[in-house]
Structures are given as C-alpha cells and as structure tokens.
Amino acid sequence: MVSFQQQPTHTTREPFLMVDGDLSPGTYRFQLVVEDALGNRSLPDEQEVTVLRSGVVPRPPVLLPRPGRPVVDNPPPSL
C-alpha cells in the first residue's frame, strides 16, 4: 500500500495502486501517465475520487407498498 501523505507521486510496474487509508475526507484528483517498454509516455489522464468519512455507507432506497399492493423482492417468473 502507498501513502499519499508521505509521498504524493508514486511509480509502479503494476496495473493498479493500493492506497493506504490515510486520506482525509474530500475530493482528490489522481493523474495517470503510462510508459511502455520503449519509454514512450502517454498523455496524462485525470480522475477525481471522493473519499467519505469512515462509517458512511449509502443506503438503498426504501420501498413503500402502494395501498393494496405488497412489496415483492423477487417477483415470480412470467409463464
């Protein structure tokens, strides 16, 4: 795992990057540059990532039945 608090730039040969949980809640911009075996470098690609505070989990919407109709999770297949 890497820590962006200690070193903001990381180089790896792997196609992924495991990030330590030391990022404070907020929105971060990550930039990726890929280099091939001949040393050719790609144009930078950026992606924004939002870090939520621990314990915040989005909840699915609550299904409320309409009067006279039950809520069915798995409706039976049509014949």
pLDDT band at 79 (very low <50, low <70, confident <90, very high): low
Side chain identity at 6, as an amino acid letter?
Q
Q: Select from 52, 14, 13, 51 the least CA-distant residue to 30.
A: 51
pLDDT tens column, 27-52: 888 888 888 889 999 998 888 888 88
The whole model's pTM is what? 0.51
In the chain, the DSSP E strands lie at: 26-32, 45-51
More confident residue, 36 or 60: 36
Calculate the average pLDDT of the chain. 76
